[in-house]
Amino acid sequence: MKQLTRRSFNGLAGKGLLGSALIANMPLANALSTNKNDKKLGIALVGLGSYSTYQLAPSLQETAHCYLAGIVTGTKSKEAIWQEKYNIPKKNVYNYDNFDTIADNDSIDIIYVVLPNSMHADFCIRAAKAGKHVICEKPMAISVAECDAIINACNENNVKLAVGYRMQSDPYTNEVKKYVREKTFGDVKFVSSDAGYISKGNPDQWRLDKSLSGGGALMNMGVYSIQTSIYGTGQNPIAVSAQEFSTRPEYFKDTDETITAQFKFANGAVAHMMTSHNSNGNRLKCHCSKGWFELDPAHSYGPISGTTSNGDILKFPHKKQQALQMDDFAKHILMGTKNVAPGEMGKRDMIIVEAIYKSIDEGGKEQLLSLGNMGIVS
């Protein structure tokens, strides 16, 4: 089974405060002057696959408030490689069998679960029971019931929970939210969002195995289209209808290939989304009463690009989204700042995912959504 990973430690991490063990060796005056805003939180990555290796690990080298403290992997050969590359001590290396003993490791503050979707709930709940804060890679789980179980476990063990929605920390996303909130181009009337790529890899990969992924394009790229439809209007949808298309059934034997869906919002706005594992899509466009704005590309690793009907070209300094995401969560824990991607957001999106699948099963029938009381919009 292909395994995913989280981040890699940078050689500069040793310059941060690595928890109580380091503070204990400090002169008393220095230890007393240390405050929570100076501390870097240690992260253990659960799963060392492509995402952690090529995205999260490099990004962690640019974080200011967290660092890679440990790893959890089911592949023995990866242990020495990651230890040497990121200077990870042996005591911070775990496998799936001894994972629960991580509760005794004070140098690890956060556990980031980057495993196949069907494994998210198990390891997030175990992480919470170990007394560690939790980041769960998107989608949060393979059902709303599993989302509830994760949220409850974190609440019961008094730990923080976030979902790996990197775009929630991206400056272009927040500029879109500002346009919507301030009605820069008037009221949003229609939103179009696409998120997809053409899969040409191993047909036995875990993303094409429903028992591991919980679904296909919708559970993977579709989450981005759901998110952009919501922050593109500034509201949660009140209804959805959906359709599924298959042109390569010999390849997509077990999971959905392409899905389109239409959302209705309480203010009269509508949205159309497309997600696919067999078509490229990476765009958000919001049509408003006094103009329009768009991001194209909208949710790739960056740099993102944006334009408006005023002729403006949106440009922000490019920073790794995963680094911004991890720092946002670390600051939430250390400084009490807003949790930009809480577990309730992941649950909301899974409610929508389940409604989309139900609509497809019922021939495109509209499904009503009750999301207004969740308190999570953007």
Quote the mean pLDDT of the chain: 90
Do domains 13-166 and 170-316+343-374 share one topology? The answer is no
* Residue 13, pLDDT score: 31
* Residue 58, pLDDT score: 85
Residues 353 and 359: their CA atoms lie apart, in Å, by: 10
The band of 7, judged by pLDDT with boundaries at 50, 70 and 90, is very low
pLDDT digits (tens, 9 = 90+) for 117-136: 999 999 999 999 999 999 99
CB of 339 within 8 A of CB of 133?
Answer: no
Q: Is the pTM of this model over 0.75?
A: yes
* Residue 265, pLDDT score: 97
Q: What is the greatest pairwise CA distance in the chain?
A: 69
* Residue 18, pLDDT score: 30
Residue indicated by tokens 């679904």: 215
> Which structure tokens are listed for 334?
């250390």
22's enclosing H/E stretch is: helix 20-24
Q: CATH says 170-316+343-374 is which class?
A: alpha beta
Three-state secondary-structure class, residue 345: helix
pLDDT digits (tens, 9 = 90+) for 271-316: 999 999 999 999 999 999 999 999 999 999 989 999 999 999 999 9
Residues 209 and 203: their CA atoms lie apart, in Å, by: 9
* Residue 372, pLDDT score: 74
Question: Degrees (nearest 5) of the Cα angle 203, 206, 210?
Answer: 95
Q: Looking at 14-114, which runs of residues are DSSP E strands?
A: 41-46, 66-72, 93-94, 110-113
| pLDDT > 90? residue 2 | no
Q: What percent of the chain stands above pLDDT 70?
A: 90
User: What would the mean pLDDT of 238-249 be, rounded to a whole number?
Assistant: 98
pLDDT digits (tens, 9 = 90+) for 97-112: 999 999 999 999 999 9
User: What would the mean pLDDT of 247-252 be, rounded to a whole number?
Assistant: 96
| pLDDT > 90? residue 354 | yes
* Residue 9, pLDDT score: 27
The band of 19, judged by pLDDT with boundaries at 50, 70 and 90, is very low
Query: What is the number of other CB atoms lying within 10 angstroms of the CB of residue 293?
Result: 24
Return phi, psi of residue 224, to 5°: -65, -40
Q: CATH says 13-166 is which class?
A: alpha beta
* Residue 201, pLDDT score: 86
User: What would the mean pLDDT of 32-56 be, rounded to a whole number?
Assistant: 81
* Residue 376, pLDDT score: 85
* Residue 37, pLDDT score: 52
* Residue 10, pLDDT score: 30
Q: Is 5 exposed, middle or buried (0-12, 13-18, 19+ CB in 10 A)?
A: buried
**Structural domain boundaries in the chain:** 13-166, 170-316+343-374
Residues 286 and 294: their CA atoms lie apart, in Å, by: 6
> Which structure tokens are listed for 13?
């991490």
